[in-house]
Chain A
Amino acid sequence: MKERLISFLLFLCALVSIASLAIITFFIFQAGLPLIFRVGLGNFLESSLWNPSGDPQSFGIAAMILGSIWVTLGAIVVGVPLGLAVAIFSAEIAPPRLAMLIRPVIQLLAGIPSVIYGFIGLTILAPAIRATFGGPGLSVLTAALILGIMILPSIISISEDALRAVPSAYRDGSLAVGATRWQTIWRVLVPAARSGIVASVILGMGRALGETMAVIMMLGNALQVPRSPLDSATTLTSNIGLELAYASGAHRDALFATGVVLFVLIMILNILANIFTGRVTFWQRLSAFRPAVFNGRAAWRRRNT
């Protein structure tokens, strides 16, 4: 009896945990979709006129979408090579002690609040960029550089796991036929870890796309389509973050509609990442579902090794 009650309570915990995703989705869509229907999805996405309190009102988020794309791609350009290099370093060539040092470094990078990153961009990087290249300083370049650092933890940890998961037979086989360590890494290990690395990049994109406060602090928040990396811009997130506090009526609805677009983009990235990391675990389990055999063998292997 008590057993039954407890397992029911635990089931409820699990249910609430996933239901929360559904509830979040529902309320964001409920608040944002009506406006998208009213304005028309095409208009909403393609117009770069954003004047939610003007007369006539206009709700076009094209400038923000482009801003988000610029900033996200910029962050990827900065973060992926650096992150992948660090991942390879700590998985393959770092002396064990150094590899042990890198873990907490990554963890700290992930733990530093995004407002601190934004502040660094605002007070160190933006003035430096203004002085070196001209322009307003608060720019796509500034945001991309800092966001590139902010996404390092996702990229490093997931890529590193993927690299470490490559069976050591691959490594040994390659070395045995006379390849150098670097050739082994680049031609054998990295390709073998490809899906995990791609997933890390996708998740990094998600982080960059979703970052809000740091971007507000670094990007200049100019409602324009950036023409060069030195221009100010605005993104889907920063626009929501800046205007939500005082928006009302259709304006507020438009911010939720922006949230819907952001949410859909993020979910697409999530699903893509899941396809890449969890090819075996997720999709196979769901499609070719064979619980008894799968579970039994796994448990049996664990027992006998």
Chain B
Amino acid sequence: MTPKIEIDQFSYRYGDEIALNTISLQVQPNTILAIFGPARGGKTTLLRSMNRLTEIGEPGTHSGRILLDGQDIFAPGTDIATLRRRVGMVFALPVALPMTIFDNVAYGPRMRGVRSRSQLQDLVQSALQSAALWDEVQDRLDTPAQALSGGQQQRISIARVLALEPEVILLDEPTAALDPISTAKIEEALMELKQQYTIVIAPHNVQQAGRIADDAAFFLMGECIEAGPASQIFTMPRDRRTEDYITGRFG
């Protein structure tokens, strides 16, 4: 099987601080890859690199390639907006834009140029359904999204990405700010979504990684220590440091 995403000798540095050091990884289509490890390991940097969000505000430098369906996303002439529609991103903190629920979810399609009201309605409805939020908000789509709870706002963030009809979804600790019930709902939604999408997630903790991941990669201080099927990584890690981290012996 050809990988959906292939990260090839990728490095990223902020000034002279190396955030990612020659990472190579593959993500198979319709799977969930969990990138886990202690804070400052480079998880966020890798996720943000994958749809070139690193380029806003923080001009670091990269080397190596990231291939999406075999095409280097950094190749000159790549349309960044198109890339970001193909590879959607959900951030750690739920952010509802200060507009209605409908407008939040319709934001991406509108930026792409979709004008037709009925088309937008269809997109919004199916996105909200896939994000397991439709039942809760269908009768108040015209109310401000910021009035929703944190868990609902995070599902809005997911729905917003789904409305782009992307191919890959990136999630950076999407449940870090949420209670266990909301977390469970989001994990459930993710399990559904992988039928259709390829998912890369920086999970909130090892347990979450264990629950949802097909493949896993352990990141420590900008290095990918080891990567492989989740079943193997979480039961018999090859590297001592991975084992220490998983068993909670990590400093």
- Whether a CB of chain B sits under 8 angstroms from the CB of A293 is yes
Contact B57 A295 (CB under 8 A): yes
Beta-carbon nearest neighbor of A290 in chain B: B15
- Whether a CB of chain B sits under 8 angstroms from the CB of A292 is yes
Contact B15 A299 (CB under 8 A): no
Docked CA distance A79–B125 (Å): 63
Residues on B with beta carbons closer than 8 Å to the beta carbon of A295: 57-59
- Whether a CB of chain B sits under 8 angstroms from the CB of A300 is yes
Within 8 A of B (CB), among A277-305: 290-293, 295-297, 299-300
Whole-angstrom distance from the CB of A10 to the nearest CB of chain B? 17
Contact B58 A300 (CB under 8 A): yes
- Whether a CB of chain A sits under 8 angstroms from the CB of B228 is no
Main secondary structure, interface of A, reads helix
Docked CA distance A293–B57 (Å): 11
Cβ proximity bits B20-62 to A, threshold 8 Å, 1 near / 0 not: 0000000000000000000000000000000000000111110
Whole-angstrom distance from the CB of B56 to the nearest CB of chain A? 9
Docked CA distance A297–B13 (Å): 12
Residues on A with beta carbons closer than 8 Å to the beta carbon of B58: 295-296, 299-300
Contact B60 A292 (CB under 8 A): yes
Interface size of B as a range: under 10
Residues on A with beta carbons closer than 8 Å to the beta carbon of B61: 292
Beta-carbon nearest neighbor of B14 in chain A: A296
A-side interface residues, number (CB < 8 Å): 9
Contact B59 A300 (CB under 8 A): no
Whole-angstrom distance from the CB of A157 to the nearest CB of chain B? 29
Docked CA distance A290–B14 (Å): 12
Docked CA distance A3–B60 (Å): 24
Docked CA distance A218–B200 (Å): 73
Residues on B with beta carbons closer than 8 Å to the beta carbon of A297: 14-15
Docked CA distance A292–B58 (Å): 7
Docked CA distance A291–B61 (Å): 13
Residues on A with beta carbons closer than 8 Å to the beta carbon of B14: 292-293, 296-297, 300
Residues on A with beta carbons closer than 8 Å to the beta carbon of B15: 290, 292-293, 296-297
Residues on A with beta carbons closer than 8 Å to the beta carbon of B60: 292, 296
Whole-angstrom distance from the CB of A134 to the nearest CB of chain B? 64
Whole-angstrom distance from the CB of A169 to the nearest CB of chain B? 25
Whole-angstrom distance from the CB of B244 to the nearest CB of chain A? 25
Beta-carbon nearest neighbor of A292 in chain B: B59
Docked CA distance A239–B60 (Å): 56
Docked CA distance A294–B143 (Å): 40
Residues on A with beta carbons closer than 8 Å to the beta carbon of B57: 295-296, 299
Beta-carbon nearest neighbor of A302 in chain B: B57
Cβ proximity bits B57-100 to A, threshold 8 Å, 1 near / 0 not: 11111000000000000000000000000000000000000000
Whole-angstrom distance from the CB of A290 to the nearest CB of chain B? 8
Docked CA distance A293–B17 (Å): 10
Docked CA distance A292–B62 (Å): 13
Beta-carbon nearest neighbor of B54 in chain A: A296
Docked CA distance A295–B57 (Å): 7
Whole-angstrom distance from the CB of B246 to the nearest CB of chain A? 25
Whole-angstrom distance from the CB of A181 to the nearest CB of chain B? 38
Within 8 A of B (CB), among A255-291: 290-291
Whole-angstrom distance from the CB of B165 to the nearest CB of chain A? 23
Residues on B with beta carbons closer than 8 Å to the beta carbon of A292: 14-15, 59-61
Subset of 23 A-B contacts with CB under 8 Å? A291-B59, A292-B14, A292-B15, A292-B59, A292-B60, A292-B61, A293-B15, A293-B16, A295-B57, A295-B58, A295-B59, A296-B14, A296-B15, A296-B57, A296-B58, A296-B59, A296-B60, A297-B14, A297-B15, A299-B57, A299-B58, A300-B14, A300-B58
Top 4 A-B residue pairs of the complex, sorted by shortest distance between their CB atoms:
A293-B15, A296-B58, A299-B57, A299-B58
11 extra interchain contacts, Cβ-Cβ under 8 A, other than A295-B58, A295-B59, A297-B14? Answer: A290-B15, A292-B14, A292-B59, A292-B60, A292-B61, A293-B15, A293-B16, A296-B57, A297-B15, A299-B58, A300-B58
